[in-house]
Structure formats: C-alpha cells, structure tokens
Structure 1
Amino acid sequence: MKLRKLLSLTLAGLISSALLVGCSTASGEDKTIKVGASPTPHAEILEVAKPLLEKEGYKLEIVEFDDYVLPNTSLAEGDLDANFFQHIPYLEEMNSEKDLNLTYTAKVHIEPMGIYSEKHKSLDDIKDGAKIAVPNDATNEARALQLLAKNNIIEVANKDLITAKDITKNTKNVEIVEVDAASVPSTLSDVDFAVINTNYALNVDLNPTKDALAIESSDSPYANILACREDNKDSEKIKALTKALNSDEVKKFIEEKYKGSIVSAF
C-alpha cells in the first residue's frame, strides 16, 4: 500500500515537473522572435533593434541568408516569424509566383537608386538626344525609368515592370542605353547621365545623397520592408518588432553608419 502511494506521488511529481517545463518552454518560445535577414545591412540594423526588444521582454534571433528565395519560403512555412531583406515589388512577385500569402508591416530603409553625371551639374542641362545609361534587368530598369519619369525627363506606362519600350512620351528624344547593372558606372564618361544602384555607386566612390542629381525618395516602393505572414501580422511579436525597426535609435544608426548610402524610409 505504501509502495503504491509512493509510486503515485512520484508519478504525480514527474507529471507536474513535465507540465512546468512545458509551460516554461512555451512561454520562452512565445517571447522569441525569429527573423531571416541578409547579412548587410539588414542583420546589422536588426542588431540595433535587439536591446529595444529585450526591454519589451522579447529575444530576437537573427537567421542570416545569402539567397533571396529561402527567407520567404521559410517564413511561409512557419520556420521564421518575419524576414527583412527585400522590397515590396519583389515580395509581390514571390507571392504571385509561389503563392506564399506574405505581407509586410513597415518600410525600414531604402538603398536609393540615383541619377549621376560626369558631364552635367544638373538635370536642367539635359539636351535633345542625350544618352542615359540604365540597368538592363527587369526590376532595376523599371526603377531607373520610373526615376527618370519622376524627374520629368520621360513619361512611362502605368505598370510595375517597364522597359524602354514602355516610354510613352520622350520630348527630349533621350536615348536609353541598357547595360548590366554592375557596368553602369563605367559608362559615365560615354553618356550624359547614368542611373546607378547604390551598391555599384559606392564601388566608384559615389554617394547618393551627395553626388546624385536626383535619387529615389522615401516613398519609393523599393523601400526594404519587414515581411511577415498574414496570420501573424497583428501578433504582439510583430507589433513589437515593427516598433523597434521604426524607432529613433534605428533611424540614427542608419544615418550615422551608412552616411547617406542607405536612408531610412520612416
């Protein structure tokens, strides 16, 4: 009888311990935010958000990716709570292509595309028949042409992905020279203007906020975003992460660390 009672007490104790451990684990998991990110600058920016989230009781776990597909599929499959590496048009393209049902909560920063020239000091100097170099890949050519349109150099069709064939008005008769994005800076001596991605501009010591005659604004659809699933968009985790990434601390870090090569979008 005593043995049976002892076994019952032992079993009850084990069950209680297991339940306590289970509750503790569940609680710990609920306070962990797992985010996929590109190493630079996204993971660097997330590191600034870490202490802000710790004050709110959350642990931020950053998972670095070197490709642009896995962060979205991993998020869709529930292996991540969010990701931070892409702009809106890319997210929309992935949603359409892979039926991922992802969304976003915040714009964080822009790696602005700019218009540069070695021959002219202003876009007002553009002459009839001017040559303008742009990247030849789908997304970046569209960005370049939209930036030219925003600065009243051309008019383009109202759609996301456009090429030179989608120019609807060209009163200056500008010639669009399509080249590989990485090669656009090397065309500066041969063309009147060139539309260059920030990373390639930096390679030739050009700073968007200082050297560009025009750059994408903070309302650009190419702002890098915090992506999440539709089913966790309104969770406390994502709300806390969104607040941290749109904080004064993150804005200050972006300004001081990247010195205009990357600008905040909030």
Structure 2
Amino acid sequence: MLKKSIVKSALAIIGVFLLASLFAGCSSGSEKSAAPAQPSGKQEVTVKVGAAVVPHAEILNFIKPKLKQDGINLEVVVLDDEGQLNPALANKQIDANYFQHVPYYESVAKEKGYNFAVAAKVHVEPIGFYSQKLKSKEELKEGATIAIPNNPSNEFRALALLQANGLIKLKDGIANFSATPRDIAENPKKLKFVEVEAAQLARSLPDVDGAIINTNFVLEAKIDPKSALFREDANSPYANDLFVRKGEENRPEIKKLTEVLTSADVKKFIQDKYGVAVVPAF
C-alpha cells in the first residue's frame, strides 16, 4: 500500500508539472500572436559624392534631407583641389563625383585610365566674358589681353565663345573639344591670350582686359554673373554631370540619388537661387 501511495504521489506531481508546462506554452504562444512582429528597419546606406563648392555642393546639400527619408546618408566631399575628385572616384574613396562636364572628362580620361559613366546630367554653368575695364565687347581694343582657362576642354570652350561673338575664327576640323590660341585662323583685333588655371581667372581680372570664367568660379569670387559682357546660351554642350564608376549606374542608392538630383524641386531650387548663372539641364 505504501509503495502504491508513493507511485500515485509521484504521478500526481508529474501531472502538475505537465499541466503547468502546457499552460505556460499556451500563454507564451498567445502573447506572441497578440504582438505582431515589427518589420525590421532598413539599414541606412552612406553615399559619398565629391563635388565642387559652388553650386555643386550646395545643390547636393539641398537634397540631403530628402535622401535621408529614403534611407540614404549623403556625404558631400569637397576637396581643396578639384583635380583630385577623379582620382578619388577611381580609387573608390568616393561613390560619385559632380564637378565636370563630358568634354573635360574625355580630355583626361584616356591619359589617366579613368572608366566612368554619366549617371545624370544636372546643370549648365554658361561660361562668360568678364571685365573690370570694359563695359561692352565693342570696347575691346586692338592688342587687348584676354585670360582663358588652361585646361584643354575649357580652353576650347572659351575660344569657341569668342568665335561665336565674332572676335576670332578657329581653324576648321578641330575635334575632341581641344584647341589653343595656336588654332586661331583669324584674329582681326590681334588679341593676346594668357592661359590661366581656371580657379585663378577671377583673380586675374585686374591684370587683363577681360577673362572668360566658368560660372562656379564667378560665384565663388562673389562676382555678379549678370555682369558678363557675353556668355554661352542654355544650349551649351557643357552640362555638369554626376559621374560614377562604369557599371555602378544601377546601384539602387545611385539610382535614387540621380532621381532626386534631377527632380522638379531641384530644378526650382537652381532657378530660384542662381538665376542666369546656372541652368538646369534636365
């Protein structure tokens, strides 16, 4: 009898534990089903874009909040020497750069071994002729000195602008957006040319009769772009583009960046902030 009582007691204890486990399991299961699983947050992606100070970095900073909402942390990288933005992209220090047009890129790509692609055309900065001494191009005297950019693509661009305004005539058959004063076929005013680093052209104005300056450097120097005696029109082929390494154009974060960078909001921002100095190219 004693043995049977012990067995019964043991079975009763085991039963209690089994029931407790069963209820605990039910309780746990019901708690899980009552609180639906939260969707896992998408991890933020950082995109580094190298840019010129004005207007490029300003435009990129304008779109930062929108990209943040889409899970992209845009890091704008500004270097003292813009010439290092292509090496930085080639060496994967940045994901894209935004400071150059296709003719400039093509003038350096082969020599440097760059293999980039245009992800988006963003804006044109109409290059213009500025002077602290003249009020109109008609005041240009024989033998006047004009400062022009010393890099191949912008040098051609400057000479082409002078040709479009009837001041010189270039030789026929010039290709690849490359020309120097040696390629001038006709120069009725016997104009003299000084080749200057593009970023230094604004500083050269007191020493020359005029200079042809890229608008980003005009803006940086706090010169009113409306003061240009003449400038390119909006049909210029020199659109400033967002460049990426070839094959990376379809990265989701790059596609989102280009989408926002060429949106109606950015077009309005450019028009409102820069007026004639910067023209949307999209």
Above 0.5 in TM-score?
Answer: yes
SS at match of 2:107: helix
Aligned counterparts, 1:223-262, within 5 A? 223-262=239-278
Equivalent of 2:147 in 108, 122, 134: 134
Equivalent of 2:43 in 12, 28, 37: 28
Work out whether 1:220 is the aligned partner of 2:220.
no
TM-score (norm 2): 0.68
Partner of 1:75: 89
Find the aligned partners of 1:194 and 1:200 in 2 and give their Cα distance: 12
Deviation by residue 1:221-266 (Cα, 9 ceiling, x = unmatched): 4332101011111333222211211222222222333454444333
Q: Could you tell me whether the CA contact under 8 Å between 2:97 and 2:243 is conserved in 1?
A: yes
The one-letter code of the counterpart of 2:242 is L
Mean Cα deviation higher: 129-138 or 88-97: 129-138
Q: Could you tell me whether the CA contact under 8 Å between 1:138 and 1:163 is conserved in 2?
A: no
Give aligned-pair identity as a percent.
41
Equivalent of 1:186 in 199, 202, 206: 206
Find the aligned partners of 2:161 and 2:203 in 1 and give their Cα distance: 19
The one-letter code of the counterpart of 1:234 is N
Work out whether 1:50 is the aligned partner of 2:67.
no
Work out whether 1:110 is the aligned partner of 2:163.
no
Aligned Cα root-mean-square deviation (Å): 3.3
Equivalent of 1:165 in 182, 199, 203: 182
Mean Cα deviation higher: 45-54 or 130-139: 130-139
Q: Compute the displacement of 1:57 (Å).
A: 4.1
TM-score (norm 1): 0.71
**How many residues end up aligned between the 2 structures?**
235
SS at match of 1:161: coil
Deviation by residue 1:58-110 (Cα, 9 ceiling, x = unmatched): 33233333333443233234343212122323322342122121121222233
Work out whether 1:95 is the aligned partner of 2:95.
no
Find the aligned partners of 1:81 and 1:199 in 2 and give their Cα distance: 22
Deviation by residue 1:194-217 (Cα, 9 ceiling, x = unmatched): 433436655876422x22232123
Answer with 1 or 2: which has the greater Rg. 2
Find the aligned partners of 1:54 and 1:141 in 2 and give their Cα distance: 39
Find the aligned partners of 2:250 and 2:221 in 1 and give their Cα distance: 43
Q: In structure 2, do the counterparts of structure 1 residues 117 and 252 end up closer, same or farther at CA, with 3 Å as the change threshold?
A: same
Gaps of 5+ in 1: 1-23
Partner of 2:33: none
Q: Could you tell me whether the CA contact under 8 Å between 1:113 and 1:198 is conserved in 2?
A: yes
The one-letter code of the counterpart of 1:185 is L
Q: In structure 2, do the counterparts of structure 1 residues 65 and 28 end up closer, same or farther at CA, with 3 Å as the change threshold?
A: farther
SS at match of 1:28: coil
SS at match of 1:231: coil
SS at match of 2:43: helix
Find the aligned partners of 2:98 and 2:220 in 1 and give their Cα distance: 24
Q: Could you tell me whether the CA contact under 8 Å between 1:185 and 1:196 is conserved in 2?
A: no
SS at match of 1:86: strand
SS at match of 1:115: strand
Work out whether 1:198 is the aligned partner of 2:215.
yes
Q: Could you tell me whether the CA contact under 8 Å between 1:184 and 1:196 is conserved in 2?
A: no
Mean Cα deviation higher: 92-101 or 113-122: 113-122
